[in-house]
Protein backbone atom coordinates (compact mmCIF):
# COMPACT_ATOMS: atom_id res chain seq x y z
CA UNK A 1 0.00 0.00 0.00
CA UNK A 2 1.44 3.35 -1.01
CA UNK A 3 0.83 6.57 0.90
CA UNK A 4 -1.94 7.72 -1.46
CA UNK A 5 -3.82 4.47 -0.87
CA UNK A 6 -3.31 4.74 2.89
CA UNK A 7 -4.73 8.28 2.94
CA UNK A 8 -7.69 7.32 0.74
CA UNK A 9 -8.58 4.24 2.79
CA UNK A 10 -8.16 5.73 6.26
CA UNK A 11 -11.44 6.39 7.98
CA UNK A 12 -12.83 6.50 11.50
CA UNK A 13 -13.91 2.92 12.15
CA UNK A 14 -16.68 2.40 14.70
CA UNK A 15 -17.05 -1.38 14.73
CA UNK A 16 -14.04 -3.61 15.29
CA UNK A 17 -13.47 -7.34 15.19
CA UNK A 18 -12.12 -8.95 18.35
CA UNK A 19 -8.99 -10.14 16.57
CA UNK A 20 -5.94 -9.03 18.60
CA UNK A 21 -3.18 -6.80 17.28
CA UNK A 22 0.26 -8.36 17.50
CA UNK A 23 2.53 -6.43 19.91
CA UNK A 24 5.37 -6.28 17.40
CA UNK A 25 3.07 -4.65 14.84
CA UNK A 26 1.98 -1.77 17.06
CA UNK A 27 5.57 -1.26 18.21
CA UNK A 28 6.74 -1.12 14.60
CA UNK A 29 4.02 1.38 13.70
CA UNK A 30 4.81 3.69 16.61
CA UNK A 31 8.56 3.49 16.06
CA UNK A 32 8.13 4.69 12.48
CA UNK A 33 5.43 7.24 13.39
CA UNK A 34 7.94 9.03 15.62
CA UNK A 35 9.55 10.37 12.44
CA UNK A 36 6.74 12.98 12.39
CA UNK A 37 7.95 16.57 11.98
CA UNK A 38 8.21 18.69 15.10
CA UNK A 39 9.16 22.35 15.38
CA UNK A 40 12.60 22.64 16.96
CA UNK A 41 12.55 18.83 17.23
CA UNK A 42 10.76 19.15 20.59
CA UNK A 43 8.82 15.92 19.98
CA UNK A 44 6.14 16.94 22.53
CA UNK A 45 4.04 13.79 22.21
CA UNK A 46 3.68 11.04 24.79
CA UNK A 47 1.90 7.88 23.64
CA UNK A 48 0.26 5.33 25.94
CA UNK A 49 -0.86 1.97 24.50
CA UNK A 50 -3.33 -0.16 26.44
CA UNK A 51 -4.33 -3.74 25.61
CA UNK A 52 -5.09 -7.15 27.06
CA UNK A 53 -6.43 -7.40 30.59
CA UNK A 54 -5.64 -3.78 31.31
CA UNK A 55 -7.88 -2.68 28.45
CA UNK A 56 -10.64 -4.94 29.77
CA UNK A 57 -10.24 -3.18 33.13
CA UNK A 58 -10.50 0.23 31.50
CA UNK A 59 -13.61 -0.72 29.56
CA UNK A 60 -15.24 -2.02 32.75
CA UNK A 61 -14.25 1.15 34.59
CA UNK A 62 -15.76 3.33 31.88
CA UNK A 63 -19.05 1.44 31.83
CA UNK A 64 -19.49 2.58 35.41
CA UNK A 65 -17.96 6.03 34.98
CA UNK A 66 -20.22 6.97 32.06
CA UNK A 67 -23.26 6.22 34.24
CA UNK A 68 -21.85 8.16 37.20
CA UNK A 69 -20.83 11.21 35.16
CA UNK A 70 -22.68 11.09 31.81
CA UNK A 71 -21.53 14.58 30.82
CA UNK A 72 -17.91 13.93 31.74
CA UNK A 73 -15.57 15.54 34.25
CA UNK A 74 -14.94 18.80 32.45
CA UNK A 75 -12.44 19.08 29.61
CA UNK A 76 -9.07 20.74 30.03
CA UNK A 77 -9.32 22.33 26.59
CA UNK A 78 -12.14 23.21 24.18
CA UNK A 79 -12.67 20.26 21.85
CA UNK A 80 -14.58 22.56 19.50
CA UNK A 81 -14.75 26.36 19.38
CA UNK A 82 -17.47 27.64 21.69
CA UNK A 83 -19.05 29.50 18.79
CA UNK A 84 -18.90 27.11 15.86
CA UNK A 85 -19.97 29.01 12.72
CA UNK A 86 -20.63 27.96 9.13
CA UNK A 87 -19.23 26.15 7.23
CA UNK A 88 -17.59 24.25 10.11
CA UNK A 89 -20.85 23.85 12.05
CA UNK A 90 -22.58 22.54 8.91
CA UNK A 91 -19.87 19.97 8.26
CA UNK A 92 -20.09 18.68 11.81
CA UNK A 93 -23.89 18.43 11.59
CA UNK A 94 -23.71 16.60 8.25
CA UNK A 95 -21.34 13.89 9.45
CA UNK A 96 -23.46 13.29 12.55
CA UNK A 97 -26.61 12.89 10.48
CA UNK A 98 -24.87 10.58 8.01
CA UNK A 99 -23.57 8.39 10.83
CA UNK A 100 -26.90 8.07 12.64
CA UNK A 101 -28.71 7.43 9.35
CA UNK A 102 -26.48 4.41 8.75
CA UNK A 103 -27.19 3.25 12.28
CA UNK A 104 -30.93 3.71 11.80
CA UNK A 105 -31.23 6.01 14.82
CA UNK A 106 -33.57 8.98 14.22
CA UNK A 107 -32.82 12.41 15.65
CA UNK A 108 -35.72 12.23 18.11
CA UNK A 109 -34.41 9.00 19.72
CA UNK A 110 -32.08 10.74 22.16
CA UNK A 111 -31.65 7.67 24.37
CA UNK A 112 -30.44 5.54 21.48
CA UNK A 113 -28.03 8.26 20.40
CA UNK A 114 -26.61 8.55 23.91
CA UNK A 115 -26.23 4.77 24.09
CA UNK A 116 -24.38 4.74 20.79
CA UNK A 117 -22.10 7.59 21.87
CA UNK A 118 -21.24 5.63 25.02
CA UNK A 119 -19.69 2.98 22.76
CA UNK A 120 -16.83 5.42 22.28
CA UNK A 121 -15.78 4.51 25.82
CA UNK A 122 -15.62 0.83 24.87
CA UNK A 123 -13.37 1.72 21.91
CA UNK A 124 -16.09 0.29 19.65
CA UNK A 125 -14.89 -3.19 20.54
CA UNK A 126 -11.29 -2.56 19.45
CA UNK A 127 -8.61 -4.75 21.07
CA UNK A 128 -6.08 -1.94 21.44
CA UNK A 129 -6.25 1.64 22.68
CA UNK A 130 -3.85 4.56 22.43
CA UNK A 131 -3.81 7.79 24.41
CA UNK A 132 -1.80 10.87 23.51
CA UNK A 133 -0.75 13.29 26.26
CA UNK A 134 1.25 16.49 26.27
CA UNK A 135 3.14 18.72 28.71
CA UNK A 136 0.86 21.52 29.90
CA UNK A 137 3.53 24.11 29.09
CA UNK A 138 3.32 23.38 25.37
CA UNK A 139 1.39 25.75 23.11
CA UNK A 140 -0.58 25.56 19.83
CA UNK A 141 2.47 24.91 17.62
CA UNK A 142 3.37 21.84 19.68
CA UNK A 143 -0.25 20.66 19.66
CA UNK A 144 -0.07 20.69 15.86
CA UNK A 145 2.89 18.32 16.22
CA UNK A 146 0.60 15.92 18.09
CA UNK A 147 -1.71 15.82 15.09
CA UNK A 148 1.19 14.97 12.80
CA UNK A 149 2.43 12.04 14.86
CA UNK A 150 -1.12 10.71 15.21
CA UNK A 151 -1.69 11.01 11.46
CA UNK A 152 1.50 9.01 10.95
CA UNK A 153 0.14 6.35 13.30
CA UNK A 154 -3.16 6.09 11.45
CA UNK A 155 -1.58 5.86 8.00
CA UNK A 156 0.98 3.30 9.11
CA UNK A 157 -1.82 1.24 10.66
CA UNK A 158 -3.46 1.14 7.23
CA UNK A 159 -0.18 -0.09 5.74
CA UNK A 160 -0.38 -2.97 8.24
CA UNK A 161 -4.00 -3.75 7.32
CA UNK A 162 -5.31 -2.19 10.51
CA UNK A 163 -7.85 0.55 11.17
CA UNK A 164 -8.39 3.20 13.79
CA UNK A 165 -10.76 5.78 15.21
CA UNK A 166 -9.32 8.98 16.72
CA UNK A 167 -11.46 9.90 19.72
CA UNK A 168 -11.22 13.34 21.30
CA UNK A 169 -14.23 12.36 23.42
CA UNK A 170 -11.75 10.89 25.91
CA UNK A 171 -10.83 14.46 26.83
CA UNK A 172 -14.18 14.54 28.67
CA UNK A 173 -12.76 12.19 31.32
CA UNK A 174 -9.25 13.56 31.99
CA UNK A 175 -9.24 12.67 35.69
CA UNK A 176 -10.25 9.03 35.22
CA UNK A 177 -7.84 8.44 32.36
CA UNK A 178 -5.07 10.39 34.07
CA UNK A 179 -5.31 8.10 37.09
CA UNK A 180 -5.55 4.97 34.97
CA UNK A 181 -2.41 5.66 32.93
CA UNK A 182 -0.69 7.26 35.92
CA UNK A 183 -0.26 10.58 34.21
CA UNK A 184 2.12 12.98 36.00
CA UNK A 185 0.52 16.31 36.97
CA UNK A 186 2.53 18.32 34.45
CA UNK A 187 0.92 16.44 31.56
CA UNK A 188 -2.62 16.56 30.22
CA UNK A 189 -4.70 14.21 28.11
CA UNK A 190 -5.23 15.24 24.50
CA UNK A 191 -7.01 12.35 22.80
CA UNK A 192 -7.60 8.64 22.57
CA UNK A 193 -7.64 6.25 19.64
CA UNK A 194 -9.22 2.85 19.02
CA UNK A 195 -7.03 0.43 17.03
CA UNK A 196 -7.88 -2.91 15.48
CA UNK A 197 -9.36 -4.67 12.46
CA UNK A 198 -12.55 -3.16 11.06
CA UNK A 199 -15.71 -5.23 10.95
CA UNK A 200 -16.55 -4.68 7.29
CA UNK A 201 -19.91 -6.42 7.69
CA UNK A 202 -21.24 -3.43 9.66
CA UNK A 203 -22.92 -0.59 7.77
CA UNK A 204 -21.28 2.06 9.93
CA UNK A 205 -17.83 1.00 8.75
CA UNK A 206 -18.80 1.77 5.15
CA UNK A 207 -19.35 5.42 6.03
CA UNK A 208 -17.04 7.73 4.08
CA UNK A 209 -17.37 11.31 5.25
CA UNK A 210 -17.52 14.07 2.67
CA UNK A 211 -14.66 16.49 2.24
CA UNK A 212 -14.78 20.05 0.98
CA UNK A 213 -13.60 20.46 -2.59
CA UNK A 214 -10.07 21.59 -3.30
CA UNK A 215 -11.47 24.88 -4.62
CA UNK A 216 -13.15 25.60 -1.29
CA UNK A 217 -10.08 25.20 0.89
CA UNK A 218 -7.00 25.81 -1.29
CA UNK A 219 -5.72 28.92 -3.02
CA UNK A 220 -3.02 28.74 -5.67
CA UNK A 221 -0.88 31.84 -6.03
CA UNK A 222 1.36 32.26 -9.03
CA UNK A 223 0.74 28.75 -10.35
Report yes or no on 87 lying in a domain.
Answer: yes
Report yes or no on 109 lying in a domain.
Answer: yes
The whole-number pLDDT of residue 165 equals 98
**Mean confidence (pLDDT) of the chain:** 96
Q: Tell me the CATH number at 116.
A: 3.40.109.10
Report yes or no on 126 lying in a domain.
Answer: yes
The model's pLDDT over 82-105, given as tens digits with 9 standing for 90+, comes to: 999 999 999 999 999 999 999 999
User: Is the Cβ–Cβ distance between 111 and 117 less than 8 Å?
Assistant: no
> Where in the sequence is the domain holding 103, given as residue range(s)?
3-207
Report yes or no on 178 lying in a domain.
Answer: yes
Query: Helix 110-118 and helix 88-103: axis angle, to 10°?
Result: 90
The whole-number pLDDT of residue 18 equals 87
Report yes or no on 187 lying in a domain.
Answer: yes
Number of compact structural domains in the chain: 1
Report yes or no on 213 lying in a domain.
Answer: no
CA distance 60 to 73: 18
Report yes or no on 222 lying in a domain.
Answer: no
Burial label for 48, CB within 10 Å (0-12, 13-18, 19+), is middle
Does residue 144 surpass a pLDDT of 90?
yes
Residue range 193-206: mean pLDDT, rounded: 94
CA distance 52 to 71: 28
Report yes or no on 120 lying in a domain.
Answer: yes
Say which residues have a Cβ less than 8 Å from residue 166's Cβ, sequence separation at least 6: 12, 150, 154, 191, 192, 193
pTM, entire model:
0.94
The model's pLDDT over 33-63, given as tens digits with 9 standing for 90+, comes to: 999 999 999 999 999 999 999 999 999 999 9
Residue range 16-43: mean pLDDT, rounded: 97
Amino acid sequence: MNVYEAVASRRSVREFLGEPVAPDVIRRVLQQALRAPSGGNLQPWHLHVVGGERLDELKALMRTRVLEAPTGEGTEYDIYPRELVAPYRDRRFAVGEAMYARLGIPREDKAARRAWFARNYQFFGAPLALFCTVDRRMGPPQWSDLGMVLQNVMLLLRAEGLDSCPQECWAMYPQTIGRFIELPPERMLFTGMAIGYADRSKAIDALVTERASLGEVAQFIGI
